[in-house]
A = this chain, B = another copy of it.
Amino acid sequence: MPARTASTRSSAPRVAPSIDVVILAPRERKLVVLLARGPAKSRERWQLPWRSLKPDETIDGEAVKLARKTLGTAPALVEQVAAFGDGRRHPSGAALSVAFLALIDADTSAGFKGDASWFAVNDLPPLPPRQRGMLEGVLTSLRARLDQGPIAFHLLPPTFTLTQLQEIYELLLGRRLHKASFRRSLHAAWLVEPTEEWRSEGRGRPAQLFRYAPKKRRGGRRGVRFGG
């Protein structure tokens, strides 16, 4: 394992890796992502928020700072997804970019005022090619991790109705879920607890508000899934 010196034989200049954040929120039954305006010289008008990594910085720390700076608030969750070092173009010119997922709830995102704008993930403006791939990768990873941990709760305010929670799952999974079955599974997982409050939203019976409150009761895993 030779300890390579940082020689620059190659034609391309050495550029520090970039950190890119995909900031997501639910909005009117759509997933929306926060995009920032690119500099005037850039080919694409909109870009994922990014910055270059300097030596001595940790990627997770810088990703949190970048998300907070773009958003004006701290997101409910910031998590690394993957590195992208294909040959595709990135505004930084870096050979390597690290994609981060950040989640924020609808209420907080609605209060957002800043340079950046929200776009539905199904209806996006052109993005630099590598960022396009990063966004796809983040969404795929988000769906895959949905059943691994309680990430969906980060897209909701502290208290929420069970219908809201189910809508988040339906949004992320892209399919309808069975109401009674969804609630039974939720009950069995001991992830939420009811509050004393009820919310009346227009006509129809008011819904009880719940809060995320995981109990330690972890049932033994069952079965082996052979995913295609």
Tell me the bound Cα distance from A214 to B182 in angstroms. 31
Report yes or no: B14 in contact with A6, Cβ–Cβ below 8 A: yes
Of the candidate stretches A25-33, A85-93, A117-125, A196-204, the one touching chain B is: A85-93
A-B contact pairs, 24 of them (CB 8 A): A1-B37, A1-B47, A1-B49, A3-B39, A3-B42, A4-B16, A4-B51, A6-B16, A10-B56, A11-B56, A13-B55, A14-B16, A53-B95, A58-B85, A58-B87, A80-B83, A82-B82, A83-B83, A147-B226, A149-B228, A182-B224, A185-B226, A189-B226, A214-B228
Q: Could you list which residues of chain A lie within 8 angstroms of chain B, going by C-beta atoms?
A: 1-4, 6, 8-17, 36-39, 41-42, 47, 49-60, 80, 82-83, 85-87, 91-92, 95-96, 98, 144, 147-150, 169, 173, 175, 177, 181-182, 185-186, 189, 191, 214, 218, 221, 223-228
